[in-house]
Amino acid sequence: MSAKPEIVLQGTGVSSGTAFGQVLKIDSRNRVIFKIEVEDAEAEVRRFMEAIEISKHQVENLKSRLEEKVGGDHGVILDMHFLILDDRVFHDEILDSIRRNRVNAEWALAQSRDHYVEAYKSLDDEYFRDRYSDIEHVTERILMNLSGEQPFSLSNLPDGVVLAARDFNPSGFAVMDLGKVRGLVTESGGRTTHTAILSRGLRIPAVMGINNLMSLVSSGDGVMLYGDTGQVILNPSRKRIENELKKPVEQLPEIGPRRRVRLRTKDGVPISLCANIEFEYEIGAAKANGAEGVGLYRSELLYFRYPDGKPSMEDQLAAYRKLAEEMKPSPVSIRTLDVGAEKSLPSEKPEQCANPNMGLRGIRRSLRSLDTFQTQIEAVLRAACFGRIEMILPMVTTIEEIRDVRVLIDETHRRLISSGINAPYVPLGVMLEVPAAVLMMESLATEIDFFCVGTNDLIQYLMAVDRGNDQVAYLYQPLHPCVLRYLAHIAKTAARVKKSLRVCGEISANPFYAAILLGMGFTQLSMNSLSIPLIRRVIGAMSLNDAQKIARKALTLKTAKDVYEYLTPAVTRAVSAVSIDVDFGSWAAEINPGPDIS
């Protein structure tokens, strides 16, 4: 072994398992892009579009190769890359910059990339925040094709390597010999990136989010990584290696095709799984993964795609109509613009206030910006002519807010009818994010058609915790008894007032949390579409009776740690009678509360 000292690093385990091997360092380029004035803007436009077409051909080829290796379920991830490349708004923004500013394609592309990445990173939801990596991977491919560079070759890897990179493009799995790769470790990324999702599907142990990794490793270094705990050991000692080799090796079942039928629990209770999406092109992945509708469309991402943050009514109608037509006859729930405070539109300055999370955001902001809000309402109502559309109001606190929105909807509806557009009724729902709204559910139910639970914000407000503050982030505890009791109250109240109810927070994509939600009475869950097959398998392997027993017991416990220590083995036992391929270790780590905080 190397004489280098042993170094223990800590990151986030995103795919369970233990790996030991030699580092292969893939040091992505720190690309510097210069702004160059061009004389012939149209020639630059043609150069950009040629790079787009080359990139699309490459991604199609990579998707086919990935599907040949591991099946169609995983190829869906590269559909995301192709559809970004095929996005008209993405093209138009860059082409407009080339023509208007007479600049080189690389500069225009980099400016657009930075705009999108900033918008994604401002999001609260981890899964959608991590989508910035898809934008970076796609733009890096286009930049390489503009320059004629060749990517780092992964086609002839040595045996037994652990790949180390700043970031790793999921398309790389398509060209490598997977049998030679023992693990993956990166500086950036988290468990909801597409690279992490593919790592789990391919059963490659992986750890992400290790600061300064690339300055610490060299190709040929020995490395041991633990995908369950997120620990990485550089230059492990001989004793550590010998101890690890003594442990029994877990035999995992083969990856195989999964049937897509109407989801029911083991005892026949129907369960609906919908997709959370942010772009129209994600509809294909949602349908391929068995989504029964779009449970949450985050419309603010449509606004961020425009330099001034103001898509026209026609722009919005085109997007909403595409969703409605492609998802028909299943419903599409459009959440109205949810920006404000620290998440501002491109043309606006962030509001300066002491506590932006409790400031002018969501429906509060929309009711202060009536022109923008009425434009969106009109686009939603018009889109309902082409499929089943629903509208969701974010950050609702009072019944007066709903009534004010009803007035605007009724005014817009009458205007459309008078102009000859027979817009149908659009069901109206509210996000349950503010504790006050939860306690007012019976009153709110008289004004709306359905409820959605936004677990991210609800937990934040219940626990009085700013998730962005490292000093108190440990208090963000989805398994805290207070959170569980609030959710149980929501389920019981919705049933009592006979209103449809769904959970739209990404916590429902965790199999342990999905099980406890099922036991509380939630039968509609909405999550990122790539998590739907996993949750289908877990819920399909459980009976409602077992889930109810688990939920009842969990609701009697006093700390998040108590809940965690009971929940994880209880759910594992409940599904153990059915052979399902689920990486329970890393999912348990995601909800582990750590030290007792109650």
Q: Cα–Cα distance between 347 and 279 in angstroms, integer?
A: 21
Beta bridge partners of 226: 18, 231
Sign, CA dihedral 278-284-288-291, equals positive
Report which of 523, 515, 520 is spatially closest to residue 582, judged by C-alpha positions.
515
Q: Cα–Cα distance between 491 and 493 in angstroms, integer?
A: 6
Separation in Å, CA 144 to CA 31, 107, 165, 466, 525:
10, 13, 18, 40, 40
Q: What are phi and psi of 500, to 5 degrees?
A: -60, 145
Separation in Å, CA 155 to CA 34, 152, 184, 200, 539:
32, 9, 16, 21, 38
Q: Where are the beta strands (DSSP E) in 77-221?
A: 161-165, 181-186, 206-208
Question: Active-site residues: which are they?
Answer: 194, 504
Separation in Å, CA 180 to CA 155, 283, 382, 583:
10, 34, 54, 21
Buried b (16+ CB within 10 A) or exposed e, 288-312: bbbbbbbbbbbbbbbbbbbeebebe
Instruction: Give me the amino acid identity at 380.
Output: V
Q: Which two tokens stand for residue 340?
A: 């404000």
Beta bridge partners of 8: 233
Q: Cα–Cα distance between 27 and 30 in angstroms, integer?
A: 9
How many Cβ atoms are within 10 Å of 267's Cβ, its own excluded? 11
Q: Cα–Cα distance between 399 and 440 in angstroms, integer?
A: 8
Q: Cα–Cα distance between 454 and 582 in angstroms, integer?
A: 25
Tell me the helices (H) and strands (E) count for the chain, helix number first: 25, 16
Q: Cα–Cα distance between 70 and 60 in angstroms, integer?
A: 15
Q: State the maximum Cα–Cα separation within the chain, in Å, rounded to a whole number.
A: 82
Sign, CA dihedral 190-195-200-203, equals negative
What DSSP letter does each residue of 87-102 carry, written as one string? -HHHHHHHHHHHHHHT
Report which of 26, 25, 59, 50 is spatially closest to residue 147, judged by C-alpha positions.
50
Sign, CA dihedral 166-170-173-179, equals positive
